[in-house]
Amino acid sequence: MAHSIDSWVRHGVEMRKPLLIHPNLSDAQRIIVIGGGLSGLTFALRCAEKFPERTIDLVESSPRLGGVIETWSEDEWRCDVSVNASRPHPAVWRLIHDLGLDDEWHVTNDYASNRWVHFNGQRVKVGPALAMKIGIFRTIRGVRNARKGGRPVSELIPNTSIADALTLGIVNDISINVDADTLFPGLTRFGHEPPVSRSKLRRLVNDSYPSKAPPRRSMASLDGGMEQLIDSIVARLEESPKVKIHLNSRMRNPEEAASNFQVPIHSVVWATPNFPDLGFKKERTKIRIFAWGELAKSSIAPIGYGMLIPTGGPVSGILHESDIHHGSRAPEGQRLFRIMVPENRWNGELNQIHAHMNDLHGQKNPTIFKEIAEREIPRYLPGHLQKLNDLQVPCTWIGWGASGPSITHVVDEVERIVERMADYRI
């Protein structure tokens, strides 16, 4: 089905992806949402706004809402343990705006935009010099090849170190294991083509932001951390008389949810990263997150966004948290770095991470060094998006296992589903 220009302007490249919506969800008067992460919460919010007469039950297995999103803090240190900033997408900006969070939402600091890859033992800035290392002809060949569909990112970007750095930074997995269509559907030309040229579409999308459009390739974050987003959505849901939240309640599958709440299965919205019995069950990797502080006056790491480290030790990425954000993340005179450690690269000894950080940052004595979280990340194996395209789901499935790894994917998917329910032209 071709999509209208209005839909392309609202959702951009996300229109290339399939929606796993059950056709009868639109008729459901009582909707059961399973999973209280960003996707389940945003769905409940958007659904309650659009259909205030419908009853919504949101069921979460753990004692807290937010899923992987959480902001750790200790004294004046503050660090998001999962998403810390969003790349531009009007759906995320609409959510922030509708929640009244515009004043807390800022584009990340311009002076901290440099990114590096640790390449052949050196810090190499992401830019033309790094692109030269891949080679223009090899890149063109890689893109052509990836357009055949279902290919790994390692074929799209024919330089293993650079491709691995990128995919480790986005989905905690090496590039041979990651679906190019899921990460770069515009580049691989997955799905439908937009009805206007890319540059025209970009202009129209830019004009559709509820506030000033963010600069291209910028990021934006909440001053108090991303947990603010969760708190604001939850506060809205608590004001909605037709929304009920159930914590500490795990549903084994959509059938159990339908039976417990005595609704047809098409009234269930499954908002967890894995969908039982559809072959996505165990596809996850694990990552450990650490906070690392340095005295600003003795810190020699350049000011910037962060560095990706494809090989050579347990640390796969370092984000310069106190450089990036508009809001404060570290005590006066200190710098805060967030360290990402894939579980399969670490021997479990803190000394190993300490030694690797010493190599990378030239710092023996961090002012803070502690594990702040452990998270699981869905896998997006080659062919993932094609597999979703062909999937018959017994009920609607949303969230990052279905839509893609970023909050732009998750938040936009929810908007598209609620629009489809309201029978908008999609």
Residue 72, interface with ligand FAD (CB under 6 A)?
no
Residue 68, interface with ligand FAD (CB under 6 A)?
yes
Contact pick of 177, 232, 272, 285 for ligand FAD (by CB under 6 A): 272
CB 81 → ligand FAD: shortest distance, Å? 7
Residue 268, interface with ligand FAD (CB under 6 A)?
no
Residue 288, interface with ligand FAD (CB under 6 A)?
no
Residue 60, interface with ligand FAD (CB under 6 A)?
yes
CB 249 → ligand FAD: shortest distance, Å? 7
CB 363 → ligand FAD: shortest distance, Å? 23
Closer residue to ligand FAD (CB): 81 or 368: 81
Residue 406, interface with ligand FAD (CB under 6 A)?
yes
Contact pick of 273, 304, 306, 342 for ligand FAD (by CB under 6 A): 273
Q: Restricting to residues 349-368, which ones interact with ligand FAD according to CB under 6 A?
A: none
Closer residue to ligand FAD (CB): 85 or 156: 85
Q: Restricting to residues 292-321, which ones interact with ligand FAD according to CB under 6 A?
A: none
CB-based contacts of 208, cutoff 8 Å, min separation 6: 9, 10, 90
Contact pick of 90, 158, 342, 399 for ligand FAD (by CB under 6 A): 399
Do 266 and 317 form a contact (C-beta atoms < 8 A)?
A: no
Do 313 and 358 form a contact (C-beta atoms < 8 A)?
A: no
Contact pick of 400, 415, 416, 419 for ligand FAD (by CB under 6 A): 400
Residue 166, interface with ligand FAD (CB under 6 A)?
no
CB 121 → ligand FAD: shortest distance, Å? 26
Contact pick of 35, 90, 194, 214 for ligand FAD (by CB under 6 A): 35
Contact pick of 407, 414, 417, 418 for ligand FAD (by CB under 6 A): 407
Closer residue to ligand FAD (CB): 258 or 407: 407
Residue 79, interface with ligand FAD (CB under 6 A)?
no
Strands 317-319 and 306-308 turn out to be antiparallel
What is the binding site for ligand FAD (CB under 6 A)?
34-40, 59-62, 67-69, 82-86, 250-251, 271-273, 287, 289, 375, 377, 399-400, 405-408, 410
